[in-house]
A and B are shown apart, each in its own frame.
Chain A
Amino acid sequence: MKRKALKAAFPYTIPIFAGFWFLGLAYGIYMNVSGFSFVYPMIMSLAIFGGSLEFVAVSMLLSPFAPVQTLVMTLLIQARHLFYGISMLEKFKNMGWKKFYLIFGMCDETFSINYTADIPKDVDRGWFMFFVTLLNHFYWVSGATIGGLLGSLIHFDTDGISFVMTSMFVVIFMEQWMKEKHHISAYIGLLVSAACLILFGADSFMLPTMAAIIALLAASRRKLEKLEVNES
């Protein structure tokens, strides 16, 4: 059962491997050249497992001690996970002990795969999602640790690498697009985030985007649920 789930899960994680491993490497190198032992990127990538925050955390560690600011900043950067949790409430039901790890390791990429993947009927869903999470976690931690060890020995240009992630999200967005019967929610997401990006800038557009999406979805509930009834 486990073997089958691993075999089904692995292909979905290959693009993540490309992206995570090199980004992790870049993160480890960045920590190393900032004067930290490889133990830091290793433990942080293992326990936080969230790329954008870990990069910001490097500058937090280099600045004067500011616990309140650290916590507020963390909650702001990570707030989008609340959305992932709400979306996975039903899918994570009855997962037993695996549920804890599935929630713990629910970074953007893991969530995207676990939400959209077409898991074959004869594959155990719990183990499938478990292995997607575990493989992604492994790529990220191994990249960060190796980067932290090799540090200043290697120089490479990571400019193009984050594009792997962006293109993966485009693919996932399109897959979701082809699955759904109408695209009202997708349009809401695209338009709201574009508008907020222009209004608030890249550093602070996330919270207003989240609030506006919830508000618009709440406002269109009657209409969307009517469409659902008509479909079925």
Chain B
Amino acid sequence: MTISEQIITITLCVLGTMTTRFLPFLIFSEKRPTPAFVQYIGRYLPSAVFGIGMKAP
């Protein structure tokens, strides 16, 4: 891999990661109320997700 290919590879890792982190906030902006279903999912997800965390450190 050349240096520029390395830079592109690392940049893609950063962009991909930030897409998964920022996407929910871009879709459901502060200015509009979050749909009730999404709020409901957001309330109950964490309990379920911490269960995954114990298996996939």
Identify the closest chain B residue to A78 (Cβ). B20
Nearest CB of chain A from residue B1's CB, rounded to whole Å: 5
Nearest CB of chain A from residue B13's CB, rounded to whole Å: 5
Q: Are A108 and B1 in contact (CB under 8 A)?
A: no
How far, in angstroms, from A116 to B14 measured CA to CA in the complex? Answer: 27
Q: Are A189 and B52 in contact (CB under 8 A)?
A: yes
In the complex, chain A residues whose CB is within 8 Å of the CB of B8: 65, 67
Partner of B42 from the list A89, A116, A165, A209 (CB cut-off 8 Å) is A89
Q: Are A106 and B40 in contact (CB under 8 A)?
A: no
A74-B13, A115-B46 given; A61·B41 CB < 8 A: no
In the assembled complex, A138 has its CB within 8 A of some CB on chain B: no
Identify the closest chain B residue to A228 (Cβ). B43
| Dominant SS among interface residues on chain B | helix
Q: Are A192 and B48 in contact (CB under 8 A)?
A: yes
A112-B50, A202-B56 given; A87·B12 CB < 8 A: no
The interface on chain A, measured as residues whose beta carbon lies within 8 A of the other chain's beta carbons, has a size of 78
Nearest CB of chain A from residue B44's CB, rounded to whole Å: 4
| Dominant SS among interface residues on chain A | helix
A65-B5, A214-B41, A221-B37 given; A173·B51 CB < 8 A: yes
In the assembled complex, A82 has its CB within 8 A of some CB on chain B: yes
Q: Are B9 and A65 in contact (CB under 8 A)?
A: yes
Q: Are B24 and A86 in contact (CB under 8 A)?
A: yes
How far, in angstroms, from A71 to B8 measured CA to CA in the complex? Answer: 10
How far, in angstroms, from A92 to B28 measured CA to CA in the complex? Answer: 12
The interface on chain B, measured as residues whose beta carbon lies within 8 A of the other chain's beta carbons, has a size of 45
Q: Are A61 and B17 in contact (CB under 8 A)?
A: no
Q: Are B48 and A213 in contact (CB under 8 A)?
A: yes
Partner of B51 from the list A48, A49, A193 (CB cut-off 8 Å) is A193
In the complex, chain A residues whose CB is within 8 Å of the CB of B2: 65
Partner of A186 from the list B15, B21, B50 (CB cut-off 8 Å) is B50
Instruction: Tell me which residues from 5 to 57 in chain B have a Cβ below 8 Å from any Cβ of chain A.
Output: 5-6, 8-10, 12-25, 28, 30, 34, 37-57
Interface residues of A (CB under 8 A from B): 40, 43-44, 47-50, 53-54, 57, 60-65, 67, 70-71, 74-75, 78-90, 92-94, 99, 103-104, 106, 108, 112, 115-116, 162-163, 165-166, 169-170, 172-173, 176-177, 180, 183-186, 188-190, 192-194, 197, 202, 205-206, 209, 213-214, 217-218, 221, 224-225
Q: Which 8 A-B pairs have the closest CB atoms?
A: A189-B48, A74-B16, A189-B51, A85-B24, A169-B53, A81-B20, A185-B47, A190-B51
